[in-house]
Amino acid sequence: MSINTDHAGAGGRSARFLRELKSIRAFVWRDVDLTKRYLGWDVVWLVYNLINAAIIGLIGVSSGAEPNYVPGHQPYIFYLLIGAIMWSYMSVLFIIVAETVAWERWEGTLEYTFMAPIHRLTHLFGVCAFAVLYGIVRIVLMLIVLVFVFHLDLSHANILAGIVVLVVGSFAMVGLGLIAAVLPLLSPEKGAQGTHIILAVILLISGVYYPVQVLPAWLQHAAYFSPAYWALLAQRKALLEGVPVWQMWGDLGALMLSGFFFIPLGYAVFTWGERYAKRVGLLKRSG
């Protein structure tokens, strides 16, 4: 009898696990369908980000500067373009996760999604999985175009280390996105605006286009709390200097700690916001 019970318990767990995987896949494909529906706007924003990165690169070309924080064998333009490409990736992760509630409300599915018999972790995992996949496609397209246009030399780059930095850095940005996603949940009118303010602050303090040492002294220390700062630091070491993964444990360790901190915190904040929104009646499709 105990053997049968054990088998039944294991079978039940396997069935639940498969059901959760199917639910995650459903959320990913739902976002894929939404992307196809608004594909025109996705193309617009991709072109916008490409042109923005190209403008940053052209500024580097026209300046003729050779800052001492860029390795001697690499052009300043490469330093700037790494910042532009990485920021495009990280900001997309943040925005997709942070605006998941706003999109649900826009599509008129907010009540149905939050009342569905789906674990919230499954829902959010599906959203985050799509964000990572979408961001990777964008960054690959941008990298191909910019390498071709600016004739960037990747012979010294450590591509494997760059991929590792990309993966590890994704977790913390997703966690920050989950924290910001509470704002549209609590304030249908102003919450989405607040997410962009948070993103702007991260851009300011993370050294995307400049070293954080040029910031005011009181603001420089804030960079250490931004996962984008550590991701950019490690990515530039990987692509500009070819530093292997095992020599970047300080930066990667900071990224991992950020992920371990922000992911649970983001999930806890989001679930609290969901309970509050349900209690006071904020799960409405408009307003």
Parse the chain into domains and list their residue ranges. 30-280
* Per-residue model confidence as pLDDT tens digits over 9-64: 555 667 676 777 777 777 788 778 777 877 876 787 777 777 777 767 667 666 66
Q: State the Cα–Cα distance between residues 79 and 278, nearest whole angstrom.
A: 46
Amino acid residing at 73? H
Looking at residue 122, its pLDDT comes to 82
Helix (H/G/I), strand (E/B), else coil: 181: coil
Rg (CA), the chain: 21
Looking at residue 287, its pLDDT comes to 47
Model pTM greater than 0.75? yes
Looking at residue 148, its pLDDT comes to 86
Q: State which residues of the chain have pLDDT below 70.
A: 1-13, 15, 17, 41, 55, 57-58, 60-69, 71-73, 189, 282-287
In contact, 110 and 101? CB cutoff 8 Å: yes
Looking at residue 165, its pLDDT comes to 93
At residue 266's C-alpha, the angle toward residues 263 and 271, to 5°, is 125
